[in-house]
Amino acid sequence: MAVTRQDRPSGWYLAPALTFFGAFAVLPMVLVVYLSFTSWDGFGTPELSGVGNWERLMDDGRAWDSLWLTLVFMVLTWLVQTPIALLIGVWAAGRQRNRAVLSSLFFLPLLLSTAAIALLWAAVLDPNFGVTQRLPFLGDFNFLGNTELVVYTVVWVISWQYVPFHTLLYQAAARQVPQSLYEAATLDGAGRYRQFFTITLPLVKYTIITSTVLMLVGSVTTFDTILILTGGGPGTATRILPLHMYITGFSGYEFGYASAVAVLLLLLGAGLSLAVTQATGFRKMQSQQEGM
């Protein structure tokens, strides 16, 4: 049946969403771009300072180190989370009862707040009073105090926190895959691994892209976990770009310069999600189940 114009929702339906998006997303973005061209320490009104903040950003070795670290985190968290979330998700998509019980356990971290997760791991990994300290082998490491090891510690904690969410995405996606495809494949003699790589994986492709975009953009804005867990330390070992922005903005009160860093983050996040969706053909939204 053809959809007539009158059956469509009125454009006014968009109004609440647009209002919120305008007030809480567009407006702050415009303001932060403006602030990045000013000098402001929180007192009085911001004074225009031309491209001063941007020149400083170009010369700021610490900002570039932070940017590099952000990219390292991005790649590492993606590499760790995607395979784990995909495998657990596909596994959890099965209807067996034991899977349902175990899955609900796996999803537990999703119920905890970020602050709770960060504090929990800080306590577990404490070099003097932590749990790991009492274990053989693990007790020899200072997970939060060693400037190289701490990077992997943070990747681990962030993955622990977000894997359940991505697992949920994959579980839903895997359940959408028509059972008949598997039945046909079984008749053709395809084994489990073959079925996974030729049926499941191609059919959850768009979920992989969605989850990847969420992870990449998420790691540009990940902030709270690291702030509580390490505060960007020891030294600057885990000071990723969002933390660098926070520290210059809210410890140093250099709001103009911090805004320049924020704009860089904004461009990075927007650029990444555009790049991923373009490169993968996500935007074409072609059906993956032609003829089904």
Beta strands in 4-132 (DSSP E): 38-39, 47-48
> Least distance in Å: CB of 161 to another protein?
20
Closest to 76 (Cα-Cα) out of 148, 172, 167, 174: 148
- Residue 142 or 212 having the CB closest to another protein: 142
Give CA separation, 16 vs 11, 23, 28, in Å. Answer: 11, 11, 18
> Least distance in Å: CB of 13 to another protein?
8
- Residue 52 or 233 having the CB closest to another protein: 233
CA 280 – CA 213 distance, rounded (Å): 11
- Residue 24 or 34 having the CB closest to another protein: 24
> Least distance in Å: CB of 96 to another protein?
39
Q: Are strands 47-48 and 38-39 parallel, antiparallel or unpaired?
A: antiparallel
Give the footprint of another protein on this chain (CB under 8 A): 12-13, 15-16, 19-20, 23, 41-44, 62, 122-123, 125-129, 142-147, 230-231, 233-236, 247-248, 250-254
- Residue 129 or 193 having the CB closest to another protein: 129
- Residue 9 or 191 having the CB closest to another protein: 9
> Least distance in Å: CB of 146 to another protein?
8
Closest to 238 (Cα-Cα) out of 170, 165, 157: 157
DSSP assignment letter at 140:
G
Contact predicate 132/124, CB 8 Å: yes
> Least distance in Å: CB of 61 to another protein?
10
